[in-house]
């Protein structure tokens, strides 16, 4: 099983629905499991500076197959891998990037969300990843 438009639709619909519920326009990126761009939406009124962050979160989550903040654990002060965030052309290592999988566990891709407070980005990304994983 590979990522398809169905996963994209589910992820973007869920992300935009939650973003509207909390009243924060978001940038949402969906990448495949090889970290190539599959879909992107910048909701009306969201920050320009968050475009690159949403893309970077999704790329980080796709490249490492884990949530962005989990990647951040390795490179935080005292972590095992200082400067890890400087590899791969620059990673984004705070919350808002999440990989998603098929029901059989196949790694399909990752979402990245940016536009609000980090906790809001995470909330939207979790909704998007859960929706994409349910297909």
- Which residues contact a copy of itself by CB under 8 A? 4-5, 8, 32, 34-44, 47-49, 51-53, 56, 60, 62-65, 72, 76-77, 80-94, 117-119
- Output 43 or 130, the one with its CB closest to a copy of itself: 43
- Output 22 or 117, the one with its CB closest to a copy of itself: 117
Give the nearest distance from C-beta 86 to a copy of itself in angstroms.
5
Cβ–Cβ under 8 Å, residues 115 and 108 = no
Give the nearest distance from C-beta 15 to a copy of itself in angstroms.
13
Give the nearest distance from C-beta 100 to a copy of itself in angstroms.
16
Give the nearest distance from C-beta 133 to a copy of itself in angstroms.
18
Task: State how far the alpha carbon of 23 is from the alpha carbons of 43, 85, 133, in Å.
Answer: 11, 31, 25
Give the nearest distance from C-beta 10 to a copy of itself in angstroms.
14
- In this structure, the number of other CB atoms found within 10 A of the CB of residue 12 comes to 21
- Output 43 or 135, the one with its CB closest to a copy of itself: 43
Cβ–Cβ under 8 Å, residues 56 and 91 = yes
- Output 52 or 130, the one with its CB closest to a copy of itself: 52
- Output 94 or 133, the one with its CB closest to a copy of itself: 94
Strand partners for 28 = 41, 113
**Cα dihedral angle (105, 51, 116, 134), rounded to 10 degrees?**
-20
Q: Copy the structure tokens of residue 131.
A: 């929706």
- In this structure, the number of other CB atoms found within 10 A of the CB of residue 82 comes to 12
């Amino acid at each position: 099983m590979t990522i398809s438009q169905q996963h994209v639709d589910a992820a973007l619909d869920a992300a935009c629905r939650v973003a509207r519920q909390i009243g924060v326009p978001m940038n949402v990126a969906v990448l495949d499991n090889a970290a190539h761009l599959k879909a992107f939406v910048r909701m009306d009124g969201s920050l320009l500076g968050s475009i690159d962050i949403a893309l970077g979160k999704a790329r980080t989550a796709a490249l490492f197959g884990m949530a962005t903040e989990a990647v951040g654990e390795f490179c935080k002060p005292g972590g095992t891998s200082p400067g890890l965030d400087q590899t791969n052309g620059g990673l984004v290592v705070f919350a808002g990037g999440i990989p998603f999988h098929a029901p059989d566990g196949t790694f399909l891709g990752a979402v990245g969300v940016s536009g609000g407070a980090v906790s809001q980005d995470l909330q939207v990304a979790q909704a998007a990843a859960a929706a994409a994983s349910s297909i």
